[in-house]
C-alpha cells in the first residue's frame, strides 16, 4: 500500500487551486437517473469516489464518460438495464445510496444495498426510508438490501425529518421532483451541496424552492430534461488547505474559495489568530502573529462548524497555545485520528464525543496510520508542522476525497512525497 512521507519544512507560500466538491458531485451524478436526456457536469473532482459512482451508474446501464482529464463527466440514462445497486459497489462508498430516490421516482422500483464508506460510526438509512415512505413508497429490508417500490408512482406529501440529514434530504428532494403533486420537506439540511443539487435539478426542469433554508418545497413534474452544470467549490478541501498556512506559517491563496462556503470555520480561525481575507481569485490565509490560540469547537450541521473539518482542526489545536475542547455531535467514533496525533507528541484526551487538546510547542515526526478520509489529511497537516519525518500509511482513504494532494502542497513549498507500496 502507498504511503506519504512528510518532512516539516517551515512556512508555506503561494497558491492552491481548489477542486469541485466531492460531496456535491457524488450527489449530482445520480440525478442523471431521473431523465432520459444527457446530464453533463463540469469542474468535477478527480477522485476514487467519483470512479466508484461511475461504476455504480454503469452497472445500472447508464453511459458515463470522463472528459477533459476527468474534469467533465458526461452521462446518459436513456436506456437503463437494471434498478439494482449491488453490494460489491455500494459497500465502498456511503453516497451510493443516493441512487435509491431517483430510481424509485422514475421506475417505481429500486433494490439498493445498505451502504459502506468510512468507519466513522453508524449512519443508518432510516431517515431516507421514512422520507420516501411519506411519498408513498413501500420499502422493506431483505438480506442486506432495501427493496423499494411505488407501483402507482410517488405522491407529494408534507414530511418533517427527525434530523437534518444531508443524504436523506438529497434522496427525498430528487425523488420528489417526479412525484405527483407538491412535497414540503421540513427540517431539511441546508448545506451548499444541497443548494448546488437544487440548482442542477432546476436546470433539468424541476420546480423547487427554499433550498438553503430548513423548508424545501418541490412541485412534481412529469419529466426532467438534460442539462449542463458546474460543480460547486469543495468547501472541505478549501477548509483543509486553509489550515496549511495556519499550522505552518506563511501565506497561501486558495483559488476558487468563497467565504460563504466556510463562514463558521473562518470565524474559528479568526478567533485562533489566523487571518482569512477574500481576494479577487479566492481566499488568502495567514497567521496574524506568532503561535495560534486554542479555541473550542462543536460540530454542527451547516451553517455550523463542519464535522468533515474536525480532524484537521484538531491537528491545528495540537500546536495552539492553551487548551481546546472539540465536541463531535454529528458522528460517533470520529476521533480515531487522536491516538495517531498522540504518537507525534500531541496531548489529547478523548471521552466519548469530546476531545480535550492541550497544545504543545512542537510535534515530532512519527509513523502514523490513516483511519478514514479526513483523518488521513489531518495527519499530513500535523506532519507539515512537525520536526523530522512523518510517514502516513493507508493513504488510499486520501484518494477518496483529495485530488493531487502532493502536487498542491509541493506547489506552496511543502516537503512531501508519495511512496509507492509493493
Q: What are phi and psi of 300, to 5 degrees?
A: -145, 160
Top CATH class, 3-18+233-419: alpha beta
Residues of the chain with pLDDT under 50: 117-122
Name the β-bridge partners of 298: 327
Question: Rounded CA gap, 7 and 409, in Å?
Answer: 12
Scan for cell 495540537, then name that residue. 318
Measure the CA angle with vertex 306, ends 301 and 310; round to 5°: 135
Domain ranges of the chain: 3-18+233-419, 22-230
Does the annotation list 127 as a binding residue?
yes
Q: Which candidate in 25, 118, 200, 318 is catalytic?
A: 118
Tens digit of pLDDT for each residue in 185-200?
Answer: 999 999 999 999 999 9
Tens digit of pLDDT for each residue in 338-371?
Answer: 999 999 999 999 999 999 999 999 999 999 999 8
CA atoms within 13 A on the CB side of 315: 30
CA proximity to 26, closest of 243, 200, 262: 200
Residues 163 and 190 sit within 8 Å (Cβ to Cβ): no
CA atoms within 13 A on the CB side of 357: 33
Burial of 216 (0-12, 13-18, 19+ CB in 10 A): buried
Please report the pLDDT score of residue 75 as a whole number.
98
Quick check: do 3-18+233-419 and 22-230 share a fold? Answer: yes
Please report the pLDDT score of residue 122 as a whole number.
44
CA proximity to 128, closest of 156, 148, 107, 155: 148
Please report the pLDDT score of residue 116 as a whole number.
52
CA proximity to 4, closest of 421, 364, 391, 404: 391
Asked if 118 is an active-site residue, the reply is: yes
Q: How far is CA 348 from CA 11, 47, 351, in A?
A: 25, 32, 10
Share of the chain above pLDDT 90, in %: 85
For the record, the C-alpha cell of 12 comes out as: 508555506
Does the annotation list 330 as a binding residue?
yes
Residues 287 and 245 sit within 8 Å (Cβ to Cβ): yes
Residues 358 and 387 sit within 8 Å (Cβ to Cβ): no
Scan for cell 429490508, then name that residue. 141
Measure the CA angle with vertex 268, ends 238 and 286; round to 5°: 60
Mapped onto helix, strand or coil, the DSSP state of residue 368 is strand
* Size (the chain), residues: 422
Rg of the chain over CA atoms, in angstroms? Answer: 21
Does the annotation list 333 as a binding residue?
no
Q: What are phi and psi of 124, to 5 degrees?
A: -70, 165
Top CATH class, 22-230: alpha beta
Does the annotation list 38 as a binding residue?
no
For the record, the C-alpha cell of 103 comes out as: 430510481
Does the annotation list 94 as a binding residue?
yes
Which stretch of DSSP H or E encloses residue 276? strand 274-278
Does the annotation list 11 as a binding residue?
no
Amino acid at each position: 500500500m502507498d504511503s506519504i512521507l512528510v518532512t516539516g519544512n517551515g512556512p508555506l507560500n503561494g497558491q492552491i487551486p481548489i477542486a469541485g466538491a466531492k460531496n456535491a458531485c457524488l450527489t449530482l451524478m445520480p440525478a442523471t437517473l431521473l431523465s432520459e436526456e444527457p446530464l453533463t457536469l463540469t469542474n468535477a473532482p478527480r477522485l476514487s469516489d467519483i470512479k466508484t459512482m461511475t461504476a455504480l451508474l454503469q452497472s445500472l446501464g447508464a453511459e458515463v464518460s470522463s472528459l477533459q482529464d476527468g474534469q467533465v463527466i458526461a452521462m446518459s440514462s436513456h436506456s437503463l438495464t437494471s434498478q439494482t445497486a449491488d453490494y460489491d459497489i455500494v459497500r465502498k462508498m456511503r453516497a451510493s445510496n443516493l441512487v435509491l430516490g431517483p430510481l424509485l421516482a422514475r421506475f417505481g422500483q429500486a433494490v439498493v444495498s445498505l451502504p459502506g464508506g468510512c468507519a466513522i460510526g453508524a449512519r443508518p438509512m432510516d431517515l431516507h426510508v421514512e422520507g420516501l415512505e411519506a411519498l408513498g413508497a413501500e420499502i422493506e429490508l431483505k438480506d442486506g438490501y432495501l427493496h423499494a417500490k411505488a407501483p402507482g408512482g410517488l405522491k407529494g406529501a408534507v414530511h418533517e425529518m427527525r434530523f437534518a440529514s444531508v443524504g436523506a434530504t438529497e434522496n427525498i428532494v430528487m425523488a420528489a421532483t417526479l412525484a405527483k403533486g407538491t412535497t414540503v420537506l421540513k427540517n431539511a439540511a441546508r448545506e451548499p451541496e444541497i443548494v448546488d443539487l437544487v440548482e442542477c435539478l432546476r436546470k433539468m426542469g424541476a420546480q423547487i424552492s427554499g433550498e438553503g433554508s430548513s423548508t424545501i418545497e418541490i412541485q412534481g413534474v412529469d419529466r426532467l430534461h438534460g442539462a449542463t452544470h458546474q460543480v460547486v467549490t469543495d468547501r472541505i478541501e478549501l477548509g483543509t488547505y486553509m489550515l496549511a498556512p495556519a499550522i505552518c506559517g506563511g501565506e497561501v491563496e486558495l483559488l476558487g474559495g468563497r467565504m460563504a462556503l466556510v463562514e463558521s470555520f473562518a470565524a474559528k480561525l479568526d478567533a485562533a489568530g489566523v487571518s482569512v481575507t477574500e481576494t479577487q481569485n479566492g481566499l488568502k490565509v495567514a497567521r496574524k502573529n506568532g503561535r495560534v490560540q486554542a479555541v473550542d469547537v462543536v460540530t454542527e450541521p451547516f451553517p455550523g462548524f463542519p464535522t468533515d473539518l474536525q480532524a484537521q482542526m484538531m491537528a491545528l489545536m495540537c500546536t495552539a497555545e492553551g487548551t481546546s475542547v472539540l465536541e463531535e455531535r454529528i458522528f460517533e467514533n470520529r476521533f480515531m485520528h487522536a491516538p495517531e496525533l498522540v504518537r507525534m507528541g500531541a496531548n489529547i484526551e478523548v471521552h466519548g464525543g469530546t476531545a480535550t487538546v492541550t497544545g504543545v510547542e512542537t510535534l515530532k515526526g512519527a509513523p502514523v496510520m490513516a483511519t478514514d478520509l479526513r483523518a488521513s489529511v489531518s495527519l499530513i497537516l500535523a506532519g507539515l508542522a512537525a520536526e523530522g519525518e512523518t510517514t502516513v500509511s493507508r493513504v488510499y482513504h486520501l484518494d477518496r476525497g483529495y485530488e493531487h494532494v502532493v502536487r498542491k502542497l509541493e506547489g506552496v513549498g511543502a516537503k512531501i512525497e508519495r511512496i509507492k507500496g509493493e
